[in-house]
Structure 1
């Protein structure tokens, strides 16, 4: 299997910002040593989730401190950004990591972007704007010094790039990028276009169908076996993980953490019958229908089943093996969640995962770019 760590802590307020950032840095360094393929950073604004806020600045700090792991974003809401400035940031990170960067981008969630006057965009408008901005980025990546000026227009901005993008990306023709989505139609479209995909959380029952849809879409579009396999190994799926010495101990700690900030989300359907029931019991209940996308109403059992893997090393390894068998062999794992008052619990869980879960599953590492994948200008600098 391939493993990536997602640095997505939540805090209760500004007093915990530094603690969350330091925990993330420490975990990124340990993940690199343990054989994780990538360290992922998210983008959030004006709330208590991912308090480093800017994934590119955080990644730039981490870049010289990681030896093997890629640095990725999961995900940047592209609709909030100017596409040419995004290309500059992506290229700089690609240079700092010598091609070990992967940029996950999405159209953003509903109700996201009020500060940028995008609060009321419909899903169709967000999809259109995302595709427009991605098209501009692809045109800018293809542009070379000396080419005619690049004219561009989206529903947000228009203009002319009379000059060149700087820096150039390290990879040729551009950094790795992926589309962040859980929507079947968008997954199939990305497959047809040969684009990488980053998934959010899925329950194991639906995971196989998602992976097969993506694979079939690529194969039917005629993409080579090498492209198909490379894209599948970057098909991350997201889970919050807590590992304890035993199942009972893991749930004892997790239930306490799950009372913390930014975990039990506001879109859950309220069920008075579940009030006060141990979450370990709720987790085992029939989840009913899963919501078609994150942020849409679903039951507490469905949310827990979709989001979490909790238990002893043997239990966690067994649950993750089911996803690998279903075709999702790249785990995007978040280990820091809930109450940060006792940060040692996250480190104990993480070290149990690296020392006892990963060996049970086998660890593959995604290599950096080959010489042929590097822009000719930079091949002698390797």
Structure 2
């Protein structure tokens, strides 16, 4: 099992945008030094707790400050970008990365973002736009010499050569394209069906394992549409993780630290407004009011000493029949950076060896 990182990126609203950006860069440097395999950076436009609207700016800087780790947006919100412009920008970034870039895509799930960009997410328009945009991007990166795409949302041309020297020429360094990741949250996620259909990397966001199990079913359902065979080694799972010397210390630093605060003030209320708290419950009869950071720490989070976290991680792995990558859900511990760095180090150096035998097909 490989270790990676998934950053929304999350920062408390009082954190300045530059200070939050600098924290994310510091964490990415740590991840590279500790041997983490990959990191994904999210995009949001109207959430003060998720304040970064341009993950490629962070990715571009991080690539200059790291040596080995693969980095990518996790993901670009495709309804909010012209696909031809994004295709060229991502291709250029792949060259700057010298092949370390990953390309995450998402449909966008915040109603406030939908409102800003006049996208009707309630009807599923955001998912339609995502599929159409990705289709255009992949065709622009292909060897198809020229085409005109007349879509529902975009009309894009790949023109033939003009005047003997003007032509579309920008393609990714990695051929046919960088690894594409698709994040999914809801039960039987449509975006994860798309991942299975196209052979993309499925990323399951942090839910109760009982619901995450349906995510692999969605991947398999999508794969059947195109006759593909999905591999569990490609499946990444995002989890809240905090490792300390003892279980008691890990509880104090997670529930009593920024992880608990962010969940209490933002993420759990957000999921409650979406009707998604059920995805965090170990039993459907649990009242919504009981789904607190303390409840999540007991039932969903991977927190504790290295031995405890390894045991919990193996239990999740067995519950869902295997996955290939653990992505640590990122939090801003800028006021206690040593604790977050130590947690990342213990996960890599103490938990990692304990889970080496977890190798899915």
Is 1:152 matched up with 2:149? yes
Preserved CA contact (<8 Å) 1:3 1:332: yes
Preserved CA contact (<8 Å) 2:244 2:250: yes
Is 1:316 matched up with 2:309? yes
Is 1:193 matched up with 2:198? yes
- Cα 1:306/1:69, change in 2 over 3 Å: farther
- Cα 1:4/1:286, change in 2 over 3 Å: closer
Give the CA deviation at 1:360. 1.5
Deviation string 1:16-62 (CA, Å, 9 cap, x unpaired) is: 43433233222212212322110211112243334443111111111
- Cα 1:50/1:315, change in 2 over 3 Å: same
In the other structure, the counterpart of 1:29 is 29
Give the CA deviation at 1:246. 0.9
- Cα 1:309/1:85, change in 2 over 3 Å: same
Alignment of 1:196-345 (within 5 A): 196-211=201-216, 214-215=219-220, 218=223, 222-223=227-228, 228-229=230-231, 232-257=232-257, 258=259, 260-261=261-262, 264=265, 265=267, 266-267=269-270, 287-289=282-284, 300=291, 308-325=301-318, 326-337=321-332, 340-345=334-339
In the other structure, the counterpart of 1:124 is 124
In the other structure, the counterpart of 2:176 is 173
2-structure distance, mates of 1:16, 1:251: 28
Preserved CA contact (<8 Å) 2:204 2:212: no
Please provide the CA RMSD for this pair: 3.2
Give the CA deviation at 1:164. 4.3
Preserved CA contact (<8 Å) 1:181 1:198: yes
1-structure distance, mates of 2:285, 2:71: 31
- Cα 1:97/1:364, change in 2 over 3 Å: farther
Give the CA deviation at 1:121. 3.0
Give the CA deviation at 1:201. 1.5
2-structure distance, mates of 1:168, 1:318: 44
Preserved CA contact (<8 Å) 2:9 2:52: no
Equivalenced residues, count:
336
* Range with bigger deviation, 155-164 or 311-320: 155-164
Scaled by the length of structure 2, the TM-score of the pair is 0.80
Partner secondary structure for residue 121 of structure 2: coil
2-structure distance, mates of 1:340, 1:94: 30
- Cα 1:123/1:3, change in 2 over 3 Å: farther
Preserved CA contact (<8 Å) 1:179 1:195: yes
- Cα 1:309/1:107, change in 2 over 3 Å: same
- Cα 1:206/1:27, change in 2 over 3 Å: same
Is 1:351 matched up with 2:345? yes
1-structure distance, mates of 2:32, 2:358: 13
Q: Which runs of 5+ in 2 are unaligned?
A: 160-165, 274-279
- Cα 1:268/1:253, change in 2 over 3 Å: same
- Cα 1:122/1:260, change in 2 over 3 Å: same
Give the CA deviation at 1:84. 0.9
